[in-house]
Structure 1
Amino acid sequence: MNQQSRHMDGKLGHSHRDEANNSLSSSNSWPEAEYDEVTWEGGAQDFNDLRFMSGMRGQNYKAFVPPTIAETGYAPSPQIASLAEEASREISRFDEKYGARVGPFATIMLRSESVASSQIENLTANARSLGEAELGVEEKLNATLVVRNVRAMKSALAASENLDTGSILDTHRALMKGTRDEATAGSWRQQQVWIGTSSSSPIGAEFIPPHHDRVPALMDDLMVYARRTDVPAMAQAAIAHAQFETVHPFTDGNGRTGRALIHSMLKRHGVARNVSTPVSAGLLADIGAYHRSLDAYRAGNPEPIITLCSEASFRAIWNGTQLAEDVTSIADSWKARIKARKDAAVWRVLELLESRPVVNAAVLEAELGLDYLRSKRAMDLLTENGVVIGVDKYKRGRFWRAPEMLNALDAFAERAGRRRQSGSV
């Protein structure tokens, strides 16, 4: 990899490599990266430690400059291309099979993917906490953050037809709304960020993404690549994700926003029209391999991230199929227990519980138009038959939760987080 350095003096200099990257013929070679040499002038991370600042200010560090990829002619090796294509076909089959139940199952998969993507960032929340957080209970911070990730995923999927920098900013804004970083949500970072070692300086860091002055142009370039229609879906999504994580355009929320981009691209390609295949749940099987594949991408080899995303899709489909079978079995058992008229409200409540296993009266009214008396009759019947458990929440009224469905969702998350054993899926 070319490691030429340029000192930043005011605006960033122009590189001869920028034009060369845009005229590549189709090949297995990846365009070269380089570095900017930057003088550290201190920043918000210094925490007013004047002794540390005096020791680090004025020192130079090298910020990574990824190659532009909008017009790259790179093609993976035939073996990797075949693997990626098979992953796309499997996702399409999964989507076609479960898209018929698009109402409840699409919601279940979207939430499950959001939980898994958050878990990669060490944000864990069980299904019960997540369900309560969706109803406004903010007692558990992680659950609240995962709910915001669900919101961000919805934003990303809604904008899949646009797939531009505006849609990325909207996704990030949805993710960070209500957090301490809300003021900068939906805008490119205005400071240097880095990974590893000191929290106060990039000097000696494991990886230093591009200087913030480069972010807008790099993101414009990335989204041009993401909209291309001549690149196979899975390979394109994996590369775009790796480039996104390398640019690291935000101060926080890069991982979750970058994984939402994968789903936007798969939907735009028509690979996953109805259901969000929980790719992040597949990546959870070996987070170390995920990080190593990003390192390999930055070193000029995109094949590991394409391979990993493809294999993660296979694991995610296996896991998602298990969840689908569990949800179907539970829903069938519920219906067998209940004796009521065909037009009774309880049947609609049962269907809602498949995708929202924690509800309250406000949800039943908003989602199903049920007044207090009709809600009470339905929930009393479901309580008597062991479908739900009612609990009074301090100052928030009565909640009902469906333990069997919550257990199925937690089992999905546990399977996703379990490192794959040799010879198993």
Structure 2
Amino acid sequence: MSYQPLFTITSKMLNLVSEITEALTKIESTQNSSITPYLRRTNRIKILAGTLEIEGNFLGEEKITAILDGKRVLGSVRELAEVDGAIKAYEKFEEYCYDSLDDLLQAHKILMNGILTTAGAFRRVNVGVGSENGVSHVAPPHERVPELMSDLFEWLKNSDDHPLIKSSVFHYEFEFIHPFSDGNGRIGRLWQSVILYNYKSIFSSVATESIVRDYQDRYYKALEDSGELGQSTPFIEFMLEVIFEAIKNVPNDVSKNVPKGREVSILNLIAENSKVTVKELALKFEVNEKTIKRDLEKLKEENKIKRIGSARSGYWEVIK
């Protein structure tokens, strides 16, 4: 294997890999089933919203949920096309072969269909990647892209590096090559998750993209710092931090249904006080707010309650 991306294994990386591995083992040992349909759907929506918001599409989780439910929503033609492409690209998430360049090209074609006439094909022009301070990175000449991508996938297939590190290296190198005229960020994030899924299946429901969205400035800075250093070390460390935080956000035990006793009590409390808050419900039942939010979402899916107005000033209504 002639091609070898430049990076340095640091003690910070090794510590993060150890912590992530321990957290994954704990999740796998406490869950009755590896992934519940509810967890898969909820986190997939977070993933879609996160990766699109990084690129300036702010339709958000609520509208993406409505689109998945077959409802019509308001948005620009491009916004709706981006959501549609992202939904379809992630629908095939578990079918992609992580070390297949053809699969990545197909994913880009699905993702950018209706947006780019060259969807699924490498760029044929030279490009520079912009930042607030101007052009932060001049990508390799377009005629070198096919060879560079072929070398990257050969390394990905044959490398003995830990998958957590390897996925982060790939993500950086992919963004450095910048092989497409548009959609590089979305595909880079998607493909890192595909590599991680090949390592552990639970990554199909780990919303790393939404954590990247939360630390978007640091994400771009890590890319720039790696570019200036000439190796992906800063970016690897950043992405391992993101993965660790995303793993910590996965509930150790996600029940498909709201426990019957709590369901009845929640419905009664909403009937008595339509403006009861998540925090108040969490205190009442001595569970964390994430659990209550999941309960409420499940009750909404079952058409037992609905939200009238905004999250801040609206209220709940029990559906008779």
TM-score per shorter chain, which class? 0.7 to 0.9
Q: Find the counterpart in structure 1 of residue 106 from structure 2.
A: 170
More deviation, 246-255/106-115: 106-115
User: Do the aligned partners of residues 329 and 71 (structure 1) sit closer, same or farther apart at CA in structure 2, a change above 3 Å counting?
Assistant: closer
Q: State the alpha-carbon separation in 1 of the partners of residues 298 and 146 from structure 2.
A: 38
For 2:221 and 2:180, the matched residues in 1 are separated by 21
Match of 2:94 among 149, 157, 166: 157
Cα 1:207/1:151, change in 2 over 3 Å: same
Structure 1 residue 303, shift from structure 2 partner:
1.9
Matches of 2:25 and 2:176, distance apart in 1: 28
Structure 1 residues 245 and 72 mapped into 2: Cα distance closer, same or farther (>3 Å)? closer
1:79 aligned partner:
12
Question: How much does 1:101 deviate?
Answer: 4.1
Residue of structure 1 in register with 2:179 after alignment:
249
Q: Which of 128, 132, 137 is 2:62 aligned to?
A: 128
Q: Matched residue pairs, number?
A: 275
Q: Counterpart of 1:122 in 2: which secondary structure?
A: coil
Q: Give the structure 2 partner of residue 294 of structure 1.
A: 223
Where do 1:297-316 residues align within 5 Å? 297-299=226-228, 300-316=230-246
Alpha-carbon distance in 2 for matches of 1:197, 1:259? 19
SS for the counterpart of 1:174 is helix
Q: For the residues of structure 1 that align with 2:298 and 2:142, how far apart are their CA atoms?
A: 41
- After TM superposition, the score normalised by the length of structure 2 is 0.73
Alpha carbons 1:176, 1:253 under 8 Å: kept? yes
How has the CA–CA distance of structure 1 residues 109 and 73 changed in structure 2, closer, same or farther, with 3 Å as cutoff? same
State the shift of 1:297 in Å. Answer: 2.1
Relative contact order, CA 8 A, sep 6+: which one is greater? Answer: 2
**Residue-by-residue CA offset, 1:331-372 (whole Å, 9 max, x unaligned):** 33698449xxxxxxxxxxxx9x968967xxxxxxxxxxxxxx
Contact (CA 8 Å) 1:84, 1:307: kept in 2 or not? Answer: no
Aligned partners of 1:277 and 1:287: how far apart in 2?
A: 17
Q: Which residue of 1 aligns with 2:126?
A: 192
> Whole-Å Cα distance in 2 between the matches of residues 306 and 332 of structure 1?
41
CA distance in 2, matches of 1:234, 1:272: 13
What residue in structure 1 maps to residue 258 of structure 2?
A: 331
Report how far residue 330 of structure 1 moved: 7.6
Contact 2:112–2:119 (CA<8 Å) still a contact in 1?
yes
From the superposition, tell whether residues 354 and 186 of structure 1 become closer, same or farther in structure 2 (CA, over 3 Å).
farther
Q: Distance in 1 between matches of 2:241 and 2:60?
A: 25
Q: Measured at CA, do residues 222 and 132 of structure 1 come closer, stay the same or move farther in structure 2, by a change above 3 Å? A: same
CA distance in 2, matches of 1:95, 1:176: 35
Structure 1 residues 86 and 330: alpha-carbon distance in aligned structure 2, compared to 1, 3 A threshold:
same
Please give the residue correspondences for 1:2-41 in structure 2 after superposition, counting only pairs within 5 Å: 22=2
Unaligned runs of 5+ in 1: 1-20, 23-69, 199-203, 339-350, 359-381, 390-402, 408-425
Residues 365-389 of structure 1: CA distance to partner in whole angstroms, max 9, x if unpaired? xxxxxxxxxxxxxxxxx65xxx244
Structure 1 residue corresponding to 2:213, chosen from 261, 284, 298: 284
Residues 150 and 87 of structure 1, relative CA distance in 2, 3 Å threshold:
farther
Query: For the structure 1 residues 388 and 126, does the alpha-carbon distance in structure 2 shift closer, same or farther, using more than 3 Å as the test?
Result: farther
Aligned to 1:223: 153
Q: Which has the higher helix share?
A: 2
2:47, 2:207 within 8 Å by CA — same for their partners in 1?
yes
Partner of 2:281: none
Query: Are 1:267 and 2:197 matched, yes or no?
Result: yes
Q: What RMSD over aligned residues (CA atoms) do the two structures have, in Å?
A: 3.5
Change (3 A) 1:130 1:307: same
Alignment partner of 1:146 out of 76, 83, 88:
83
Structure 1 residue 185: Cα displacement: 0.9
Q: Which has the larger radius of gyration?
A: 1
TM-score by length of 1: 0.56
- Asked if structure 2 preserves the Cα contact closer than 8 Å seen for 1:85 and 1:234, the reply is no
The residue identity in structure 1 corresponding to 2:16 is L
Match of 1:236, SS? Answer: helix
1:109 is matched with: 43
Paired residue type of 2:20? A
Deviation, 1:75, is: 4.7
Task: Work out whether 1:240 is the aligned partner of 2:170.
Answer: yes
Identity of aligned pairs, percent? Answer: 20
> Does structure 2 retain, via aligned residues, the 8 Å contact 1:245–1:258?
yes
Contact 1:157/1:263 (<8 A) preserved: no
Give the 3 Å change call, closer, same or farther, for CA 238–144 of structure 1 in structure 2.
same
